[in-house]
Amino acid sequence: MSEVQTKKSVLLVPTIIVVILAALTPYINDTYRSLSQELLKKQLQVSVVEDFLKDPDFIAKVNNKTLWEACDKISSASESRFWYYPENEPNNIFEELTVKIYKDTPYWKQATAYEYWCNINDSSMRSGGVVWHTDRDEEVLATEHKLVFPIMGAVFYGYNETYEGGDFYIIDSVAFKKGSRSAEYTDRCDDKYGFCVSNYNLFSSNLANEALFVNTKFNTLLYANVTHFHKADRVLSGKRYALAVNANGRRPKNIEKAPSDDEMAMKAKGPLGNTVKTYENLSIRLGEAFV
C-alpha cells in the first residue's frame, strides 16, 4: 500500500461514521424527544385518555353546545369556580363528568372537593392563550398567605368542533428552577411564599424538550399535576370547549357565599390583591335545564 492510499483509507473510516451519524441524527432526535416526553409524563403525572366517553347516549348528552356556552359564560363572569362534593349526587352534566373523571382514580379517596369550570376559546380571545401558571387555592393564599395546591388536575375536551392550536404544555417547576433556566413573573409573586406561583415567562434554551406537550381534541381527557407550571396555547382557528376539574384535599371555606365588603377590601390590599373569586353553586345559576 502506498502512503497516499493509507492516508485515504484512514480518512475514509471517520468520513463514513460522520455520514452515518448525520443520517441518523433526525431519528436520534425524534427518539430522544419521544423518550423524554414519556419520562416527563411519569414525572408530571400526566396521562392522556383518548375517546374517554364510550357510551354514545352520554356523548350525545355532553356534546351539546348550549350547556358548554352557559358554563363558560358563568365561569368567565368574575372568574367564578364551582365546587362538587363527592358525597353529593351530581347536580349537572359537569358534575357527572367530574365523577366519571375521578371515580376510578386513586385521587377519589383523597379528595374532599372538586373545583370545576369551563372555557370556550377561539382565536379572538384577548388573552391569546393561558400563560404559564400553577393552580392553587387563591382564597387561602389571599386570606391566610398559604399555598395550597390541588391533588390532581384534569381537563376534558367536551364539544365536538374542529379547532387548531390550543395545545397543552406542562413543565417540571421544581427542576425548572435549577441551572441556567429562569422564570420571570409578571405579578402575583411574593418571596414570602418560597417560590413564585403564577403568570410566568419561562426562559430556557431547551424549553421545547423540557416541556411536555399534549395535542388536545374532542373526547380526550388529560390528567396532569397542575402543581407544575402549565399553559395552553392560543387557539388558531375554530373553538375549543374545555372543562377543567381539580381534585382538592381541602374543602374550601367560603363556598357559596359572596365575599363580604371587608373581605373584598382586604383582598384589594393584600399581596395578591387583584385576585377575587366568588364560589357559587353552578346548578342554581344554570337552572333546571342543566340538572
**Can you tell me which of 40, 46, 62, 67 binds ligand NAG, judged by CB under 6 A?**
67
Q: Which is nearer to ligand NAG, 5 or 66 (CB)?
A: 66
**Can you tell me which of 82, 114, 119, 156 binds ligand NAG, judged by CB under 6 A?**
119
Residue 193 CB coordination number (10 Å): 16
CB of residue 207 vs ligand NAG: minimum separation in angstroms? 18
Residue 191 phi/psi, 5-degree rounding, is -60, -25
Annotate each residue in 80-109 with x if it binds ligand NAG (CB under 6 A) or - if it does not, as one string.
--------x--x------------------
CB of residue 23 vs ligand NAG: minimum separation in angstroms? 39
Q: Which is nearer to ligand NAG, 198 or 227 (CB)?
A: 227
Taking CB under 6 A as the rule, does residue 260 contact ligand NAG? no
Q: Please, are residues 133 and 172 in contact by the beta-carbon 8 Å criterion?
A: no
Contacts of 18 (CB under 8 A, 6+ apart): none
Q: Which residues inside 1-30 make contact with ligand NAG, applying CB under 6 A?
A: none
Of 33-41, 94-102, 184-192, 278-286: span binding ligand NAG (CB under 6 A): 278-286
CA distances from 290 to 37, 100, 121, 223, 280 (A): 39, 17, 21, 25, 15
**Can you tell me which of 15, 25, 34, 160 binds ligand NAG, judged by CB under 6 A?**
160
Residue 131 CB coordination number (10 Å): 16
Give the chain's largest Cα–Cα span. 96
CB of residue 191 vs ligand NAG: minimum separation in angstroms? 19
Q: Please, are residues 235 and 157 in contact by the beta-carbon 8 Å criterion?
A: no
Taking CB under 6 A as the rule, does residue 246 contact ligand NAG? no
Please count the residues of this chain forming the interface with ligand NAG, following the rule CB under 6 A: 30
Taking CB under 6 A as the rule, does residue 130 contact ligand NAG? yes
Residue 201 phi/psi, 5-degree rounding, is -105, 125
> In 240-252, which positions are buried (b, 16+ CB within 10 angstroms) versus exposed (e)?
bbbbbbbbbeeeb
**Long-range contacts (CB closer than 8 Å, 24 or more residues apart) made by 186-195:** 186/131, 187/274, 188/272, 188/274, 188/275, 190/271, 190/272, 192/145, 192/271, 193/141, 193/145, 193/147, 194/147
**Can you tell me which of 219, 220, 246, 248 binds ligand NAG, judged by CB under 6 A?**
219
Taking CB under 6 A as the rule, does residue 124 contact ligand NAG? no
Binding site for ligand NAG (CB under 6 A): 45, 64, 66-67, 72, 76, 88, 91, 119, 121, 125, 127, 129-130, 151-152, 160, 166, 174, 218-219, 225, 227, 232, 234, 281, 283-284, 289-290
